[in-house]
Structure 1
Amino acid sequence: MSVRWAKPIAVLTAIAVVASCTLPRTGPNKREIFAGSVQKEGDAFIVAVNDRVTRATAVVPALGFSDSFKNASQLTSDTIRPGDVLGLTVWENVDDGLLAGEATNSTILEEVQVDSAGFIFVPYAGRVRASGNTPNQLRETITTKLEDQTPDPQVQVRRLAGDGATVSLTGAVGGQGVYPIERPTRTLSSMLAKAGGVTITPEIAQVTVIRGSQQGQVWFQDLYDNPKLDISLRGGDRILVEEDTRSYTALGATNSQARVAFETQDLSALEALAQIGGLLSTSSDPTGVFIFRNEPAEIAGQVLGRTDLEGAQRMVYVLNLTEPNGLFVARDFVIRDEDTIYVTEAPYAQWTKAISLVAGGLTPIANVATISDSF
């Protein structure tokens, strides 16, 4: 009997020796992570995630416009501003008028630009203030100035597109450029449509509007979900459309170890794991899914039930997917920008590696006798 069991015992001893050595692995195990907790004189708070923790940490950076943006009234296409371009037509009730030639009784003045002081020049009417007037008011003014020199003049004023009320669009839009604010394009969504819409995935498109020293930012989809965010535009507005830059890092026993961009506005831990291909069935430990994060003091205080914290706190959130509601908790836990998701290896993974080194790649081990017969 002693001879029979000598080889198996020797094999097990060798495996134990190898397992006690530092074998290749993807990172720290659960024991090593917990050793760095504040309770053990480490520098990180380690918290098991439950429903209360998910509610306290479900904070997503809010995007939106200030009241000054949302309360701005729509520009009317009737009000003339400096930089606008006008078109004038003057009819005269004589064969040989002041402006008209011999063969016609009308004169067309195209692209008359309103200068920076708000005036235009009209032959025989002189310098006329246009800014602040409607086309009809300007028509009456020009008519009054001309009727002393030609009988019964008829004047038409048309407001054309000009640089007095334009916005610039850059970034991920169909057509970058400078666009006039016209009757159909007075709001943000209509102006984006005029520019050909967004050229990136709408779910992760962010729209920034810069107005003077102020700026606001919204999700593209929110313009349609919340009409209050579809603000009225002002001349000089700069509109930038860009892709969401948020990301998280995935490490450990997962199908993909990389920096991963957000694919939706809100991302849960379960969705984040799905993005990287899920856990490895042969080596991942579903009880050891960790989220590393620098948490603001106010949120960390709510999670820990403390009021004495100052500054960002190192937090390590632990998900146990094997618990009865583990998947629900992972579905509700919100991942934020710059989070690190780390999945530990299952304990047997190191054991399997040790067996592979001793038994020449025989894994998993069926029984001790199998190994002993190979010697």
Structure 2
Amino acid sequence: MSRQLRRGAKTIALFLAVTVVASCATLPRSGPNKREIFAGSVLREGDAFVVSVNDRVTTATAVTPALGFSQSFQNANPIGADTIRPGDTLGLIIYENVEDGLLTNTGASASLIDEVQVDSAGMIFIPYAGRIRAAGNTPEALRRVITRRLDEQTPDPQVLVRRLAGDGATVSIVGGAGAQGVYPIERPTRTLTAMIAAAGGISIEPDIALVSVSRGNRTETAYLRDLYRNPHLDIALRDGDRIFIEEDTRSFTVLGATGAQTRLEFQAEVISAIEALAQVGGLNATLANPTGVFVFRNEPEEIAEAVLGRDDLDGTQRLVYVLDLTQPTGMFNARDFIIRSGDTVYVTEAPIVAWNRSVAAIFGSLGTISSTSATLGIE
């Protein structure tokens, strides 16, 4: 009886060992291995193009965010702090060199036209001069226009124009500004960076700060740092501009045999593959396969054709970029390869890791059987 039990236990142990070996591929792991990813290539009837990263690929894929202000925003000249606007109230004094003038009373040499309202169309009405565009002019420019008009009616008129009241030009600043609010456009704050400074600067990380300017029904965006790197992007402001400051919301995901598996937001305007790995603590020294670092991406048609050297693709393509950090140029390629929003960076496990799991599973199973045998008194 004892001999039969021992023989049965050995048979069970052998069966379990074979079962474990057969199921090695389904042992717990962090994701697909290098061989399985390559099996999904278009060349092997898969649905993704698997491409090894080299200098040509890094150049073709080096696409950075196309942010900045258009020529219409850049070409706007700074407005003067004394520019007349709709809603302003003006005061005029008109002097005439005749005793019986057009506008003056008998015995008076000057006529006071007080509280002339600039209408919503930017126009004012002056007797004998007609309707005149005031909005957009300075008081001095308007004085010259009125003088020319009246000179046709009375000899050598002298005109004074004063701005009595009005809100003036303002902009609103919201979001990650030091102090949100509505600010007047004054002589020191006629440009975007000057106005942001007047609002207390920004309250978010400068490297990922985006500045959006809405003017009418148009909104354009630039990185804060680019406003200082490229002075032509420091645009002149206009009355009613709306400024919104926010953090960059781009993100990417890192999975596999790394120090951490997580979704990360961009910490700079441009991030390379090596920097992306550094943000999660690099490769896991006991698990990672440095020859199998992959970047999964949906690539636009024109970039995919440039990478693959083809001109017959249609629409967005699935591309899997392969980085081999053990190659002489591997680290340089990883340093130059630009990560884009929505990318998934995946590090495969080394083949020895799967083998170690299999061995541990086998010996763990055998150990369980031996323990069971000892409990049953089987030798």
Who is 2:28 aligned against? Answer: 24
| Runs of 4+ that moved beyond 4 A | 11-17, 84-89, 111-115, 117-121, 127-130, 136-142, 158-161
Who is 1:75 aligned against? Answer: 79
Stretch moving more, 174-183 or 44-53: 174-183
Q: Cα deviations across residues 326-362 of structure 1 (Å, max 9, x unaligned)?
A: 101000000001000111111111111123233449x
1:251–1:341 Cα contact (<8 Å) kept: yes
C-alpha distance in 2, partners of 1:243/1:314? 29
Who is 2:313 aligned against? Answer: 309
Question: Quick one: which of 216, 234, 237 aligns to 1:233?
Answer: 237
Count of matched residue pairs: 322
1:80–1:159 Cα contact (<8 Å) kept: no
Change in Cα spacing, 1:137 to 1:279, as seen in structure 2 (3 Å) is: closer
Who is 2:215 aligned against? Answer: 211
2:298–2:319 Cα contact (<8 Å) kept: yes
> Is 1:341 the counterpart of 2:341 in the alignment?
no
> Is 1:190 the counterpart of 2:194 in the alignment?
yes
C-alpha distance in 1, partners of 2:289/2:22? 20
C-alpha distance in 2, partners of 1:15/1:161? 89
Who is 2:55 aligned against? Answer: 51
Q: Cα deviations across residues 1-25 of structure 1 (Å, max 9, x unaligned)?
A: xxxxxxxxxx999777534412100
Stretch moving more, 339-348 or 72-81: 72-81
C-alpha distance in 2, partners of 1:87/1:192? 34
Aligned AA for 2:76?
A
Who is 2:247 aligned against? Answer: 243
Change in Cα spacing, 1:120 to 1:318, as seen in structure 2 (3 Å) is: same
Question: Quick one: which of 172, 176, 188 aligns to 1:172?
Answer: 176
Change in Cα spacing, 1:184 to 1:12, as seen in structure 2 (3 Å) is: farther
How many percent identity over aligned positions? 61
Question: Quick one: which of 265, 270, 274 aligns to 1:270?
Answer: 274
Aligned AA for 2:208?
I
* Displacement of 1:129: 8.2
Question: Quick one: which of 318, 325, 330 aligns to 1:321?
Answer: 325
* Displacement of 1:195: 0.9
1:58–1:334 Cα contact (<8 Å) kept: yes
Who is 2:41 aligned against? Answer: 37
Q: Which runs of 5+ in 2 are unaligned?
A: 1-12, 94-113, 126-130, 151-158, 366-378
2:90–2:161 Cα contact (<8 Å) kept: no
Across the aligned residues of Structure 1 and Structure 2, the Cα RMSD in angstroms comes to: 3.4
Stretch moving more, 305-314 or 166-175: 166-175
Who is 1:289 aligned against? Answer: 293
Q: Which runs of 5+ in 1 are unaligned?
A: 1-10, 90-108, 122-126, 146-153, 362-374
2:79–2:190 Cα contact (<8 Å) kept: yes
C-alpha distance in 1, partners of 2:357/2:67? 49
Question: Quick one: which of 236, 245, 256 aligns to 2:260?
Answer: 256
2:260–2:281 Cα contact (<8 Å) kept: yes
C-alpha distance in 2, partners of 1:84/1:15? 91
Change in Cα spacing, 1:87 to 1:18, as seen in structure 2 (3 Å) is: farther
Q: Cα deviations across residues 205-254 of structure 1 (Å, max 9, x unaligned)?
A: 01111111222211000111100000011111111111001100111111
Q: TM-score under structure 2 normalisation? A: 0.75
Q: Secondary structure at the match of 1:331?
A: helix
2:209–2:245 Cα contact (<8 Å) kept: yes
